[in-house]
Amino acid sequence: MKINRLQPKLVVVTGAGSGIGRAISLRFAKLGAHVVVSDIDLTTADETVALIQANGDRASSTLLDVTDPDAWERVAADVRATFGVADVLVNNAGLVITGAFLDTTPQSWDRQLGPNLLGVVYGSLVFGRQMAELGRGHIVNIASAASYTPVPGTSAYNVSKAGVRMLTDCLRVELGPKGVSATSICPGLINTNLGNHAETVGIDANLFQDGMGMLDRVRDFVDTLPISPLSPDLVARAAVRGVRFDLDVVPVRTEAWLTYAMYRIAPSVTRGILRQFPVERLEAAGARLLDVLDRTAKPDTASHGRPLVAATTNGHSAFDGGHQ
């Protein structure tokens, strides 16, 4: 660990229309940076900009599909022409696909690795080149505790985030001598909308949506607490800390630190424990838990024998093992 002399004045954040990306944008803007808020949904990016400007801070928005290398080239060129070379790039955009490994199709793997891994590669390439030209800069990659925890049912997501973490190590080795560093942020359970947009393979769709509804109830309860133990701002603070102290890996929350310690000290123990929870067992346990919870809830109508939990979460958040 060392004190980074870089003082971020221009920060680019992907997937910044909500959740972790929005929190990171607000945090860097509060510290005095102009933040370029990028998202595949320009409306939500504009909403983040409005929040930043309402605080008296500076930001602008841009449309970006992180899976499109040409879009990255365009955005990088526009940012440089308008504001100069970015001091910090935060690769946050991503999605999650859940399901057993044997049910995950090649198309699902492409869909998962595109934004989560290749999007990070493309962004690091175009902005990393600009930073290296000036001999300064920092790339923050939002990975996940899943990058070192082989959780059953999310193999594609786990692999994508493990790739991000290794890419960050490679950037530190190759770009470090050029004055550019990189940090992996590895969140545990964080209150984001990642689950709202999750894709499932081989899993009962009704069960999954009911599970999201249950998490929404938990989210509403957490919001009533005097503290925010699952707040995306925890990740935002970690991102700032990662840049300030030039950290390589920053787990976020206790469970992320514990699993990281187990990964470093006794990875076989972690694998042995998780083998006891195959996807089929987790799915069955989830169904039983939902039945118990629904019996204690109001007897609303249901088409499948249980009180109906909203199929969507009405704009609220689900829990993110990693980010966005």
- In this structure, what are the phi and psi dihedrals at residue 134, rounded to the nearest 5 degrees? -90, -10
Give residue for tokens 């939990």: 309
Please say whether the beta carbons of 151 and 98 come within 8 A. Answer: no
Distances (CA, A) of 95 to 14, 156, 160, 162, 321: 12, 11, 10, 14, 11
Query: If you ran DSSP here, which 8-state letter would residue 252 be given?
Result: E
Point out which residues pair with 165 in neighbouring strands: none
Distances (CA, A) of 134 to 78, 121, 129, 264: 17, 20, 9, 35
> Out of 122, 148, 157, 263, which one is annotated catalytic?
157
- The half-sphere exposure of 282 on its side-chain side, counting CA atoms within 13 A, is 17
Show the CA angle centred on residue 205, arms to residues 313 and 229, nearest 5°. 40
To the nearest 10°, the Cα dihedral for 147, 153, 155, 161? -30
Q: Which residue type, as a one-letter code, is found at position 270?
A: T
Q: Does residue 260 carry a catalytic annotation?
A: no
Q: Where are the alpha helices (DSSP H) in the chain?
A: 19-30, 42-54, 69-82, 106-113, 119-134, 155-175, 205-223, 233-244, 254-265, 267-274, 279-295
**Any idea which residues carry the catalytic annotation?**
157
